[in-house]
């Protein structure tokens, strides 16, 4: 897998999702555009990353994001830049500015199939705005992924969200299983799935995806020994690359192994990328498998041991 970076450019968000996995406080601060560009320039030069995704919080709340994107495109034209957004602020004008700056793909989150449920889950009545944004992105011809959540509270909306994604022209659907970190750890009683419940949702998604002509991907790794991937032939499963070829950078420019991991390796403003990725903490993270048998498992290549932060029922 080509190396890549997820830059959580701002901690701020205009939604109040109870399942949010962000591990830092919303008032922690963020780098200004000059500092962000300088930090990214050093990391991209050293890491030779092939892709860079801007996330948050809500990345469109960072007013200088287009300036950062344009600077990266100018200095590193080979890096494929994308943005993961809730799309509530993705007006046609803002979308045009992002595309002009150099954004090559967009991921939009859609957690419910109707306005009332969306408001209940996120605290915002923005369901129609999100649907309009999805259609607008495809009108511009930008590759689009619609991402949704596999959880206890959102499971009833699975097929409806998939239908909306198809109807509005998405190129891909991403199924993110609930991970109990950040605010989600506090509220996991509302969202956490047992293995049997996750199997039920994957079975429904697999059935629905059989009639689609686009990839439907399970983007947070599920252990192949827990739920054999072969049981869901219409879904694409990925493995864990965190702390290996995928890294997270928080709003203050600090490197972490992944978005769900609260452990900070160090500041990229003070230490080089190569120094931080060589720390013992990285090896310890990668060695933290679901069980001692993972390294010898013939299925290990398909899941990489699964997500280190997923709750597992015994």
Task: Write down the mean pLDDT value for the chain.
Answer: 93
The string of pLDDT tens digits covering residues 94-131 is 999 999 999 999 999 999 999 999 999 999 999 999 99
The Cα 177–Cα 303 span in angstroms is: 14
The Cα 204–Cα 299 span in angstroms is: 23
CB 190 within 8 A of CB 153: yes
Coil, strand or helix at 268: coil
The Cα 302–Cα 314 span in angstroms is: 22
Q: Which two tokens stand for residue 65?
A: 């994001």
Closest CA to 47 of 249, 288, 280: 249
**H or E segment at 136?**
helix 127-139
Phi, then psi, of 6 in degrees rounded to 5: -110, 115
pLDDT grade for 291, boundaries at 50, 70 and 90:
low
Residue 313: pLDDT above 60? no
Expressed in percent and rounded to 5, the helix, strand and coil fractions of the chain are 40, 15, 45
DSSP bridge partners of 82 = 53, 105
Q: What percentage of residues in the chain have a pLDDT greater than 70?
A: 96
The Cα 109–Cα 87 span in angstroms is: 7
CB-count burial class (<10 Å; 0-12, 13-18, 19+) for 162: buried
Q: Which two tokens stand for residue 23?
A: 């591990």
Q: Which two tokens stand for residue 16?
A: 């109040």
Closest CA to 129 of 205, 218, 60: 60
| 283-297 per-residue burial string, b: 16 or more CB within 10 A, e: under 16 | eebbeebbeeebeeb
The string of pLDDT tens digits covering residues 263-280 is 999 999 999 999 999 999
Q: What domains can you pick out in the chain, each with its CATH number? A: 4-303 (3.20.20.70)
């Amino acid at each position: 897998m080509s190396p890549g970076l997820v830059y959580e450019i701002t901690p701020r968000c205009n939604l109040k999702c109870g399942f949010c996995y962000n591990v830092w406080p919303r008032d922690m601060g963020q780098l200004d555009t000059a500092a962000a560009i300088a930090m990214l320039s050093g990391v991209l030069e050293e890491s030779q990353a092939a892709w860079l995704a801007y996330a948050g919080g809500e990345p469109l709340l960072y007013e200088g994001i287009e300036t950062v994107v344009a600077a990266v495109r100018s200095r590193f034209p080979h890096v494929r830049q994308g943005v993961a957004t809730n799309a509530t602020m993705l007006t046609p004008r803002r979308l045009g500015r992002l595309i002009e700056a150099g954004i090559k793909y967009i991921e939009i989150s859609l957690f419910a199939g109707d306005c009332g449920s969306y408001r209940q889950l996120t605290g915002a009545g923005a369901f129609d705005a999100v649907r309009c944004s999805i259609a607008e992105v495809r009108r511009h011809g930008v590759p689009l992924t619609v991402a949704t959540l596999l959880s206890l509270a959102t499971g009833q909306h699975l097929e409806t969200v998939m239908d909306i994604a198809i109807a509005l022209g998405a190129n891909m659907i991403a199924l993110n299983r609930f991970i109990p970190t950040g605010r989600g750890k506090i509220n996991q009683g509302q969202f956490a799935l047992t293995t049997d419940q996750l199997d039920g949702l994957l079975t429904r998604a697999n059935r629905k995806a059989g009639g689609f002509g686009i990839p439907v991907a399970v983007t947070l790794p599920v252990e192949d020994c827990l739920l054999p991937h072969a049981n869901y032939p219409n879904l694409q499963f990925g493995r864990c690359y965190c702390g290996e070829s995928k890294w997270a950078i928080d709003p203050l420019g600090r490197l972490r192994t992944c978005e769900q991991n609260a452990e900070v390796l160090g500041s990229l403003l003070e230490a080089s990328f190569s120094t931080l990725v060589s720390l013992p903490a990285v090896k310890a993270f990668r060695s933290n498998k679901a069980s001692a048998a993972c390294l010898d498992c013939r299925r290990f290549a398909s899941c990489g041991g699964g997500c280190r932060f997923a709750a597992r029922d015994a």
